[in-house]
């Protein structure tokens, strides 16, 4: 059922804003599950309050105000989400994978292009949206205090004017500009390295990923290593450990990772980039069961990082089946 709000003779389809609000809340919260909860709460609050909406701003701006307040409320009682690289140094491949932090400690991927939606975005705007949904950028955002986070997303990702943000946050333009500068300074030290915006998926990257899938499903570790940068990194939330260096990753693939031999990869899209649902063979060999969502990052024609999200509750969100036949 669509959220249709009405007052007097005026009705309004609130659902038209769901996609872009999901992208906004995901950047704020770092979790697809939390973003869905925040947007649903936003819809409920907007529907309940629509008859009191005075029309002094656009409905879209009003709903962003509600969504911001919902996110700020959620963030007051939660620690920031992170990637393993934000919490510790790399370890040797011989380190046993151990999970001691709750699932809510980790950044989650978001299915498809959900976090890239913005009305009337031109090609430059689409490039910004793509760049700001990368997992490294989402993790860097979580270093910001919540209000600074909102200011940075609204100003630099969604391109709102300072006066619009000031009105949304019930503050002044001077305060917004000050918060933006502090957020920029933090992102400069904790954020991903600056890179030129690139096409979402270059043809050579598709070919690289095709070779990766072929090598991984054959579990040809020698071939897999040739696809990595020498200083590539590798992580597996909720395991806190992470690896750096192609040879350390080789050591993991031939050691603790060796039960992945015989796996199957099913292509999906995560954070607006190619990704895979990995299914491992069951002990009896009759089927393949969900294991993780793999999100590769590619730089300069090779894989620079391999994220593995070992949360099988993500599989239905990505439209993946509960298992595969052998």
pLDDT confidence of residue 294: 98
Q: Domain spans of the chain?
A: 1-78, 203-325
Question: What pLDDT does 9 receive?
Answer: 41
- Report how far residue 46's alpha carbon sits from residue 25's, in angstroms, rounded to the nearest whole number: 16
pLDDT in tens, the chain (326 residues): 455 554 444 456 788 889 899 999 999 999 999 999 999 999 999 988 887 776 666 888 999 999 999 999 999 978 889 999 999 999 999 999 999 899 899 999 999 865 555 555 565 666 677 788 899 999 999 999 999 999 999 999 999 999 999 999 999 999 999 999 999 999 988 766 555 444 556 789 999 999 999 999 999 999 999 999 999 999 999 999 999 999 999 999 999 999 999 999 999 999 989 999 999 999 998 999 999 999 999 999 999 999 999 999 999 999 999 999 98
User: Would you say the CATH fold of 203-325 matches that of 1-78?
Assistant: no
In the structure encoding, which two tokens stand for residue 309, read together? 């999200």
Select from 2.40.10.10, 3.10.450.50, 3.40.50.720, 3.90.25.10 the CATH code of 203-325.
3.10.450.50
The helix (run of H) or strand (run of E) holding residue 205 is helix 203-218
Residues 6+ away with beta carbon under 8 Å from 196: none
Strands (E), the chain: 4-7, 10-13, 228-235, 242-244, 264-270, 273-281, 287-299, 302-309, 324-325
- Helix, strand or coil for residue 189? helix
- What does the block give as tokens for 178? 């000050």
At residue 120, the pLDDT reads 58
Q: How many residues does the chain have?
A: 326
pLDDT for the residue 255: 97
- When the candidates are 1.10.10.10, 1.10.1740.10, 3.40.50.300, 3.40.50.720, the CATH number that belongs to 1-78 is 1.10.1740.10
Determine the pLDDT at residue 48: 86
Note whether 11 and 5 are within 8 A (CB).
yes
């Amino acid at each position: 059922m669509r959220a249709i709000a009405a007052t007097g003779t005026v009705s309004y389809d609130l659902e038209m804003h769901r996609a872009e609000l999901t992208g906004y809340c995901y950047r704020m919260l770092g979790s697809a599950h939390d973003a869905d909860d925040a947007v649903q709460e936003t819809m409920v609050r907007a529907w309940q309050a629509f008859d009191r909406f005075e029309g002094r701003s656009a409905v879209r701006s009003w709903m962003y105000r509600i969504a911001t307040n919902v996110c700020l409320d959620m963030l007051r009682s939660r620690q920031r989400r992170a990637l393993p690289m934000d919490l510790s140094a790399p370890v040797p491949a011989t380190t046993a994978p151990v999970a001691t932090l709750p699932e809510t400690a980790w950044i989650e991927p978001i299915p498809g292009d959900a976090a890239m939606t913005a009305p009337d975005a031109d090609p430059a705007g689409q490039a910004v949206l793509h760049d700001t949904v990368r997992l490294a950028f989402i993790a860097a955002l979580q270093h910001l205090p919540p209000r600074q986070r909102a200011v940075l997303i609204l100003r630099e990702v969604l391109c709102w004017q300072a006066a619009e943000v000031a009105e949304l946050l019930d503050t002044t333009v001077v305060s917004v500009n000050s918060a933006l500068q502090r957020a920029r300074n933090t992102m400069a030290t904790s954020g991903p390295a600056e890179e030129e915006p690139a096409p979402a998926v270059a043809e050579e990257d598709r070919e690289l990923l095709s070779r990766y899938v072929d090598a991984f499903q054959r579990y040809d570790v020698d071939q897999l290593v040739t696809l990595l940068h020498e200083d590539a990194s590798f992580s597996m939330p909720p395991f806190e450990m992470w690896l750096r260096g192609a040879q350390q990753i080789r050591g993991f693939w031939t050691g603790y990772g060796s039960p992945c031999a015989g796996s199957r990869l099913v292509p999906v899209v995560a954070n607006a980039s190619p990704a895979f649902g990995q299914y491992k063979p069951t002990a009896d060999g009759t089927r393949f069961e969900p294991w993780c969502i793999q999100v590769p990052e590619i730089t300069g024609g090779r894989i620079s990082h391999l994220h593995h999200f070992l949360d099988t509750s993500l599989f239905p969100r990505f439209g993946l089946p509960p298992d595969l036949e052998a």
